[in-house]
Chain A
């Protein structure tokens, strides 16, 4: 014991950091902030450290070469003892890190922590969020499989829409004319050197400011932030009712971080690593590329935006969001911190959460995509074929064979791109069905060129049978009027 103390004293006599470390650890924080709400930042940091460690471990095996990366992932999964577990830790760690960073941001926003004098802490935090998302995207690329390959294509297609310099940006991003070895190498450099390096610098700045400016005091309704008085009030608060950070508050951070690490490990152990999916071979086109969880909302937005709005939204939208986040602490730098007195802040968070949640949910079953194999995989339910005429059954055959099913569901099986057709005969008359099939419209391709008149007749005959028992078919009101010999005492057919 004495030896340890002597070594410690010898080191500190030369390093001279003992006093600084002690002061930092024991700096007083308001008693209220030793709270379970204040543990997300430290948990994000701990998961980041986990990512660095597991990332280095993966780099021992991984080969950042377009020709070999996928094979090296297979070796990691199956050939190296517990390689799958390290991959799983890194993959789940990534998801947890994004989630915790977002939670941390929401907490900080709702507690008004971005207000004076912590504006720069918030701004650095915004960049930390961007870098975290950047790590998530570049990490998905390093899992060099089909999703990564086509995901890069989507990224390139978005970047190419920048006016004038778009194609040049794409070439620099890909490192050449196509997605290939150079692309993977530069995403490797970004994921392993550039972004983590920046992350470390920004995390250090972020922490430095948290220590220098003090942790955000617990927001009390009515305790208003004013630039003239805030700093003094904060110091009085910590003097009057403060506890040393270590050990007064740190034990909750420690417990929560350990819990999160345990959760990452449990997910990794029970759910395993992510992919890789199929080989990154662009000649294998039987694939439906999907982004990772935290980009699913974007996938949905890209599918649902009207074509004309897509480029403006893609190019201007991110800039607007970033600008809004950056100017937030300057526009609302003073005033109430408590979320109880900031209904718009609370509603904004709810709105954003519901929107992102809904888009993510939609992306889970992609109702906008044709179901590529529904026409051959999902048979027509017997109830739609029983007691039908030969023509109507022939129409059912046309319905399957022309892949109508890829976009239109029957009894909820089939594509969701177009409306379900279980009761289409209630909604459309024969004429309307013919017109819709031949001419398309309303986001449906025109089938006029692809169907013979006989096929169209059979198909429409089948569609006309699609209505629930007891419900009459749609009819054209003008027909009956035209056929009525006597309306208002005057036959319509005569002039």
Chain B
């Protein structure tokens, strides 16, 4: 009987030891998990996006689509060139603008503008878009991503800071500025 009691006492102590370790593990897990989740938990609250200048308005002549770049607002010194992001600026009629993300709405490859055929073409999987960003052909399910823009002191600003991906809630769906053509 005494031997059994001794055994159970040791078992109890061992279980207490395991329990104690479990608590310590849980306590340590909190900062570790928060550290891992910091990109979504902490930085998202502040908002990745801010208003960024793309340049003077006269760089974007009416009726044309031009290449523009900006420096991402959330940036570390060792990011190098990766924080320089490209986009396409379309000056529709001298009044309205459209600013398209460089990333194809299919899988994010860089689309190129062809002014001769008025198409954006993607080199990866063959997506193509019309000049207003709407889908023309290929695997994309939607038109090009667009940034919100505003004009201040003769400069064009866009709200940017996060790489657009197909799963995101988009800032705005492509606006069809020209009515669909009936044939």
Contacts and interface: CB of A to CB of B under 8 A. Distances in A.
A176 B39 contact: yes
Interface string B128-160: 101100001111110000000000000000000
Contacts of A245: none
B123 A372 contact: yes
A303 B125 CA distance: 5
Contacts of B140: 307
B167 A372 contact: no
A166 B126 CA distance: 24
Contacts of B169: 167
Contact of B107 (A153, A435, A450): A153
Contacts of A153: 103, 107-109, 163
A contact residues, range: 35 or more
B174 interface: no
Nearest to B128: A445
A303 to B, nearest CB: 4
B36 A172 contact: yes
B45 interface: no
B106 interface: yes
For chain B, what secondary structure do more than half of its interface residues adopt (helix, strand, loop), or is it mixed? Answer: loop
Given A157-B166, A403-B117, A448-B183, A440 B107 contact: no
A61 B119 CA distance: 44
For chain A, what secondary structure do more than half of its interface residues adopt (helix, strand, loop), or is it mixed? Answer: loop
A166 B48 contact: no
A66 B85 CA distance: 14
Interface string A335-365: 0000000000000000000000000000000
A281 B141 contact: no
Interface string A442-477: 011111111000000000000000000000000000
A289 B123 contact: yes
Contact of A402 (B111, B112, B116, B131): B116
A443 B163 contact: no
B43 interface: yes
Contacts of A168: 40
A287 B110 contact: yes
B167 A177 contact: no
Given A157-B165, A174-B163, A283-B84, A303 B40 contact: no
Contacts of A283: 69, 81, 84-86
Given A283-B86, A446-B181, 20 more contacts: A65-B80, A66-B78, A66-B82, A67-B81, A153-B108, A153-B109, A154-B124, A161-B166, A167-B169, A171-B40, A176-B39, A178-B162, A180-B83, A281-B82, A283-B85, A285-B110, A299-B124, A369-B125, A403-B119, A446-B183
11 contacts: A68-B80, A161-B167, A172-B36, A289-B109, A299-B125, A302-B107, A372-B121, A439-B183, A443-B138, A448-B181, A449-B118
Interface of A: 65-68, 149-150, 153-154, 156-162, 166-168, 170-172, 174-183, 279-283, 285-289, 299, 302-303, 305, 307-308, 310, 368-370, 372, 375, 401-404, 406, 417, 435, 438-440, 443-450
Interface of B: 36-37, 39-40, 43-44, 48, 67, 69, 72, 74-86, 102-103, 106-112, 114, 116-119, 121-126, 128, 130-131, 136-141, 161-163, 165-169, 178, 181, 183
